[in-house]
Amino acid sequence: MRAPSGWQRNVWALSLSVFIAFVGFQFFSPFLPLYVRELGVTDPSAIALWSGVLAAVTPTVSGFLAPLFGRLADRFGRKMMLIRSLAGFTVIIAAMGLVTSVWQLFAARFLQGLFAGFTPMAMAVASVSAPRAKVASAIARVQGAQLLSVAVGPAIGGFAATHLGIRPAFYVTAILCAVSLVALIFLFQEQRAAPVGDAAARPRSAPLREFLGQAHFLPVMGLLMIAQFIDRGLALVIPLQVAHMSEIAAPATTSGIIISAAAVGATVSASLAARLSAVVPAGQLLFIQLMAGGLFCGAMALAGGWVSLLVLRVLVALCLGGALTLAYALGGMIVAPEARGAAFGWLAMGVQIGTAASPLLTGALAAATLRGAYLLDGALSWLGALILLFTARDLLRRRERPEG
C-alpha cells in the first residue's frame, strides 16, 4: 500500500493542477451568455437557448466518448488522459477568442468535447489515489480546489471582461491550462499497477453492467447527476438574471461577484462535509443538505435584486456545496477497493449527464421563465433526498471503515 505521504502528495499535486485550470475556466465560462450577445445574438430568449446549447455540447460529446476514454485510461494511465485534456484545452480555448460568429463558437465547443472529461477523471484519480477511508477527504480536497477557483476566477474575469472585453479571457484561460499541464506532468506521480501475481490488489476495469446490478449504484449515480445539474444550472441562470436587472451597469462584474461568493460558501460546505462524514453517516449529511438546499433554490425565484440573489445563492452553496463530495463518498462505500477506479469512472457518467443536460434544460426553461429554472433546481434537490430515503435507506446509516 502507498504510504500516506505518497497519496497525500499526489492529491495535493492534483488539487493544484485542478485549481490552476479551473481558475482559467472561470474566466470565460460564467460569461458565455454575454459573449453570445457580443457575437451578434440580441434576442434574450435566443441568448438563453444558445447559452444552454454551448454549455451542453462539450459535456455531451465527452459523455458519448466516456467509454473510449475509460479504455484509453486503462491502457495509457489516467495521468495521460488528464494531460490529453489539458493540452487540447490549451489550443481550443485560445481559438475561442478568435471566433466571429456563434456557430464558430459552437464548433470550437464541440471540438473541446473531444478532449473533455477532465473533472470526472480528476475525481476518479483522487478516489484511487487515497486509502478507502480517506476517499471523502481526497475528493473534498480536489473539489475544494475546483470550488476555490470559482471564488477567484469569475471575480477577476468579470472585472477583466468589463474593462478589457471578454475575448482576452479566453487567452488567459489557455495560458493557465498550459501552466496546469506543466504542474501535472512534474508534480503528480501516478501509482504503478500492482505486480501481475497480486490480482486482489491490482486495480481493474469492468463493464458498466457489472455495477448496475450492485445495490445502490444507480441511486448514487442519480445523486451525482442531480448535484451537478443544480450547480451547472445556477451557474447559467445567474448571469442571465443579472443581465435582466436594468439597475446594474456592469452585469459581468456583478455576476462574477455572486458566483465567487457562492464558490466560497461551496468550498466551506465541501470541506465541512468531508470532516463531518468521519463522525456522522455521509448519507444523513447529504439528506439534510438536499432538503435545505431545495428550499433555498425555490426561494431564489423570489429574489428581486442582486443583493437578495447574492444572499440566497450563498445559502444554496452552503447547503449543496458538499453534495458531490458526499455522493462520491457513498460511491466509495458500495464498491470493492480494487474496482473503485472503474466504478468511479462509470459513476462520473452521472456527473457528465448532469453537466450536459443542465444547460440544455435550464437554458430552454430560462428562455420562457427564469423563475421556473430555480423551481426546477429546488424540486430536483428534494427528489435527491427522496431517492436516498426510499431507494437507498441503509446508506443513511452506513459509515466507512478503514481498509485492512
Our count of domains for the chain comes to 1
117 conformational bin, left if phi > 0, alpha if psi -120 to 50, beta if neither? left
Query: Which one has a higher pLDDT value, 292 or 118?
Result: 292
Q: Each residue of 258-288: pLDDT tens digit?
A: 888 888 888 889 888 888 888 888 899 999 9
Which amino acid, 2? R
* Residue 248 exposed, middle or buried by CB count within 10 Å (0-12, 13-18, 19+): middle
Dump pLDDT digits (tens) for 324-348. Answer: 888 888 887 887 766 666 677 777 7
C-alpha–C-alpha distance, residues 232 and 30, integer Å: 10
Q: Are 360 and 56 in contact (CB under 8 A)?
A: yes
pTM: predicted TM-score of the whole model, two decimal places: 0.75
Confirm whether 204 is domain-assigned: no
What DSSP designation does 98 have? T
**What DSSP assignment string belongs to 173-203?**
HHHHHHHHHHHHHHH--PPPPPPTT-TTTS-
- pLDDT grade for 383, boundaries at 50, 70 and 90: very high
Residue 30: inside a domain, yes or no? yes
Q: Which of 85-89, 210-214, 354-358 has the highest mean pLDDT?
A: 85-89
CA distance linking residue 77 with residue 189, whole number of Å: 11
Is the CB of residue 23 less than 8 Å from the CB of residue 154? no
Domain membership of residue 162 (yes or no) is: yes
Asked whether residue 301 is domain-assigned, the answer is yes
Can you say how many angstroms the Cα of residue 334 is from the centroid of all Cα atoms in its chain? Answer: 22
Residue 196 lies in a domain: no
3-class secondary-structure state, position 396: helix
Q: Where are the alpha helices (DSSP H) in 29-77?
A: 32-38, 44-64, 66-76
Average pLDDT value for the chain = 82
The pLDDT, as a whole number, for residue 401 is 52
Residue 59 burial (10 A CB sphere; 0-12, 13-18, 19+): buried
Confidence class for position 223, pLDDT limits 50, 70, 90: very high
Q: Among 180-184, 291-295, 387-391, which is the least confidently predicted range?
A: 387-391
Residue 198 forms part of a structural domain: no
Confidence of residue 380 (pLDDT cuts 50, 70, 90): very high
User: Looking at the predicted structure, is the pLDDT value of residue 2 above 60?
Assistant: no
Contacts of 328 (CB under 8 A, 6+ apart): 123, 127, 135, 136, 139, 224, 344, 347
Query: Is 224 part of any domain?
Result: yes
Give exposure, 112-134, as e/b (b: 16+ Cβ within 10 Å): bbebbbbbbbbbbbbbbbbbbeb
The single-letter code of the amino acid at 367 is: A
158 belongs to a structural domain: yes
pLDDT(177) > 50: yes
Cα distances (angstroms) measured from residue 208 to each of 92, 201, 225, 336, 339: 31, 21, 16, 15, 12
Report the alpha-carbon distance of residue 261 to residue 274 in Å, rounded. Answer: 20
The CATH code of the domain that includes 74 is 1.20.1250.20
Joined grid coordinates for residue 100: 466571429
Region 184-197 average pLDDT: 68
State the average pLDDT over residues 167-190: 90
Mean pLDDT of 218-239: 88
Give residue 55's domain range: 4-189+211-396
